[in-house]
Structure 1
Amino acid sequence: MNPRLIFWIPAVMRLVLILAGAGCVWYFFGLIAGLVAGMAGLCVLLVVQLHYLYQLAEWLDHPSSARLPDGWGAWTDIFSRLYKLRRDDERNQAELAEWLARFRQAMSLLPDGVAIMDDVLFLEWCNPAAEKHLGLQLGRDKGMRVTNLVRSPEFIDYIILGRYEQPLTLNVRDRKLIVLIIPFENRRQILVTHDATESDRIEMMRRDFVANASHELRTPLTVINGFLEIACAQPNLDVKTRLSHLKLMAEQGQRMQNLVEDMLTLTRLESVDYPLRPERVNIHILLDQILQDTQALSGGRHDISLEVDGPDIKGGTEELRSAFGNLATNAVRYTPEHGTIRLRWKLKESGPEFTVEDSGIGIRPEHISRLTERFYRVDKSRSRETQGTGLGLAIVKHVLLRHDATLAIESVPEQGSTFRVKFPRKAVCEDTLEKGTGT
């Protein structure tokens, strides 16, 4: 039905009823009484309309679907429509509030900084990453000009020139930031910041790794090529000299092979394609093999002992063999003749612990934090003498990371060093605890 008819038919019917009632009173009580009755009916109708108008005005001041008044007559339909509109509006507001909360939560989790500015660079909003990158505080800095908050000549020039096609590299608070401004709408701009400090550090590590690897490979290649050139230029060398050259080439070839194997091991440990597959590690067998290898490398020049008083653990046997073997090998290489080396496996309250203690040359404190870096050497000349690749402790670090273990280093120059590998309690094979493992 036509909405106009829905409104007008009840209104006309009410007027007809009032006039009919007034006519009846006129018929029975006279003209004056009929007029009075008609006026009274119209006044009542007017008062009702004014009452509902007042309620509508009150509701419009504080609109809420919960307190919308009930109506009478045409007001019933009016209030019903208002109720529906208000409910739809409240539902839309709730959805908008939910989406806004999700947006803010998503923005707060972004690693990149996002700040919204108006056309005159006043800050309207920023996420926590932008606060961290630029030293802002939204509650304090909202409504302030961004160029007054980020006091950098390069940033101000970037803003003034307005060449936003290329990002700006900015050094702020000892961090390297990539800054980009994106205009949107007509009167707003988005300021995006990306912290490139870590990626720069990784790139530097990559360059250092390539440079160090190239340097390490250059020396043995130079030796081998040099002797080959001599062999080609002087084919009548005596047997003794030729054997000496072959021996040196074999040593340098073995050095290159060790270096390549260590680099491949590091690559495998860092690759997601080779996840750790935990198995039961028989500690007694593993450490007995480590002891034998260490004694073979020492050749009787050191006093080496092993103490095992702890349970088996879950992990990668070959990876742990490599890590423990590197620690024991380093102890032999950096301990003078007749020195002592102690290998221990014990169960502590926090978990199992493997210790390599030596009476070697020791390490100065400034070097300890960098020992697990690739190709880092405290004494480069001694490392070459001992045929080290410079990757042993880097391999140890990555193996322990895969086993949720940590490496602690204690050292006193000229007195010795202690390397402690600490495993979490969850790595223990509980059945070995029940049987007892002290030996």
Structure 2
Amino acid sequence: MNPKLLFWVPALLRLGLLFALAGMVWWWLGPVAGLSLALAAVVTAVIVQLSYLQKLGEWLEDPGTRLPDGWGTWTDAFARLYRMRRDDTKHQAELTEWLARFRQAMHLLPEGVAIMDDVLFLEWCNPALERHLGLTMERDKGLRVTNLVRHPDFIDYIILGRYEQPLTLAFRGRKIECRIIPFENRRQILVTHDATDTERIEAMRRDFIANASHELRTPLTVIVGFLEIAMADPGLDVAIRTAHLNLMTEQAQRMQRLIQDMLTLSRLESDEFPLKRERVDVKSLVESIAVEARALSGGRHHIEVAVDGPDVMGSMEELRSAFANLASNAVRYSPDGGTIRLAWSRGADALSFAVTDCGIGIDPEHIPRLTERFYRVDKSRSRETQGTGLGLAIVKHVLLRHGGKLTITSQPGKGSTFAATLPNTSLPA
């Protein structure tokens, strides 16, 4: 049935019943009594309606209070209002929940986001944008963004309105990428991205390619040069030819070591080669590395070994590569007659393989960069020692894969200690 009919039928029935009662009184007691009863009934009905209207008005002034009870048609009206309020409360709770989720998501975003009006007054921003541009939401809300970010390029970008391409700012020692996005009719969104790490990684990639090309070009130049000499003079003296062949072999082996280290480093950084843990007999591993170090030293150094720690769970191949790189570096950079100590020990918080030498030492400004690819403190000395420049980078990535780290302490002229530490969680079960 039509809802409108459902609303009017009870009212009409009550009105008909009232007139029927008044007619009966008219018939029994006369017209005066009937009219008096009808008038009293109408006045009573009007008073009742006005009282419910007053209650409705009071409730509309303060919807948080309880809805009044109704009678007749008002029962249905108040029931509908109660359902509307209940649905509205439910929708309000849902909107509040979604707003809280939205704000939480905005707070967790690594990108900076700000909402501005059409004249660039700040309405809202997330913590990432505060970090990128040095703003504070509580302090700067309602202020013009161009007054807060006083950078000529940023102001020109805003004024010119050429938002097709992002703007990159050198701001507060960081590279910040900014973009304006029109939003609704009278609002704009400012999005910022910290591109400092991206720029740094890109610079490292360029440096890696340049350094790798240089490292490969040098031995190739030697080999090609000797080959050209051999081809130009077939009757070259046997002794000279032998010397050339020895140098070519040496340079080819250098290239082979470099390529092998580059492939090892690439594999360590790749997600396609997950770490395969096995029980590593560290005592045997350290002793075998000491044997290799003594062979590399050729008796020029005194190499000590101290093992006072348990076995670990890890990759035997990777740990051998890391530990051997530290030992071979100590041999290459220690003067003849010096002492090199290889020590495996267990501390309170970690396990450690430490290589201590009495070499030339390292100035403090170089230590943070030693694990960078191809970084050399003394390039001329690195050529003499036949290093590839990738050994410590390999050590760093091996330890990262095992949850460890490399710690370097050094005093110029007195020697250095390179400690590869692993967490106690590496212990076998």
Shorter chain as denominator, the TM-score bin is over 0.9
Higher deviation after alignment, 395-404 or 361-370: 361-370
Equivalent residues in 2 for 1:179-258 (5 A)?
179-258=178-257
2:303 equivalent in structure 1 = 304
Higher deviation after alignment, 303-312 or 80-89: 80-89
TM-score (norm 1): 0.94
**1:58 matched to 2:50:** no
Q: Per-residue deviation at 1:171?
A: 1.8
Cα distance between partner residues in 2 of 1:355 and 1:2: 89
Equivalent residues in 2 for 1:155-194 (5 A)?
155-194=154-193
Q: How many residues align?
A: 429
2:39 equivalent in structure 1 = 39
Q: Which amino acid aligns with 1:402?
A: R
Q: Per-residue deviation at 1:205?
A: 0.3
1:399 equivalent in structure 2 = 398
Equivalent residues in 2 for 1:5-404 (5 A)?
5-64=5-64, 67-404=66-403
Cα distance between partner residues in 1 of 2:241 and 2:4: 116
Cα distance between partner residues in 2 of 1:413 and 1:142: 53
Q: Alignment partner of 2:369: what SS?
A: coil
Does structure 2 retain, via aligned residues, the 8 Å contact 1:114–1:126?
Answer: yes
Does structure 2 retain, via aligned residues, the 8 Å contact 1:179–1:193?
Answer: yes
Higher deviation after alignment, 96-105 or 296-305: 96-105
Q: Per-residue deviation at 1:7?
A: 2.5
Q: Per-residue deviation at 1:14?
A: 2.3
Q: Per-residue deviation at 1:27?
A: 4.3
Cα distance between partner residues in 1 of 2:393 and 2:228: 36
For structure 2, the 5+ residue unaligned runs are none
Higher deviation after alignment, 75-84 or 336-345: 75-84
Q: Per-residue deviation at 1:87?
A: 2.2
Q: Alignment partner of 1:307: what SS?
A: strand
Does structure 2 retain, via aligned residues, the 8 Å contact 1:351–1:428?
Answer: no
Q: Which amino acid aligns with 1:215?
A: H
Q: Alignment partner of 1:429: what SS?
A: coil
1:434 equivalent in structure 2 = none
Does structure 2 retain, via aligned residues, the 8 Å contact 1:326–1:392?
Answer: yes
Q: Per-residue deviation at 1:122?
A: 1.5
- 1:91-128, Cα deviation, whole Å (9 max, x unpaired): 22222222222222222222111111111111122222
- 1:346-404, Cα deviation, whole Å (9 max, x unpaired): 11111221111111111111111111111111111111111001110010000000011
- 1:300-337, Cα deviation, whole Å (9 max, x unpaired): 11111111111100000010000000000011011111
Cα distance between partner residues in 2 of 1:156 and 1:12: 72
Q: Alignment partner of 1:336: what SS?
A: coil
Does structure 2 retain, via aligned residues, the 8 Å contact 1:180–1:192?
Answer: yes
Q: Per-residue deviation at 1:341?
A: 0.6
RMSD: 1.6
Q: Alignment partner of 2:199: what SS?
A: helix
TM-score (norm 2): 0.96
Q: Alignment partner of 1:324: what SS?
A: helix
Higher deviation after alignment, 391-400 or 18-27: 18-27
- Percent identity between the two aligned chains: 67
Q: Which amino acid aligns with 1:21?
A: L
- 1:127-149, Cα deviation, whole Å (9 max, x unpaired): 22111111122222222211111
Q: Per-residue deviation at 1:197?
A: 0.8
Higher deviation after alignment, 164-173 or 32-41: 32-41
For structure 1, the 5+ residue unaligned runs are 431-439
Cα distance between partner residues in 2 of 1:290 and 1:78: 90
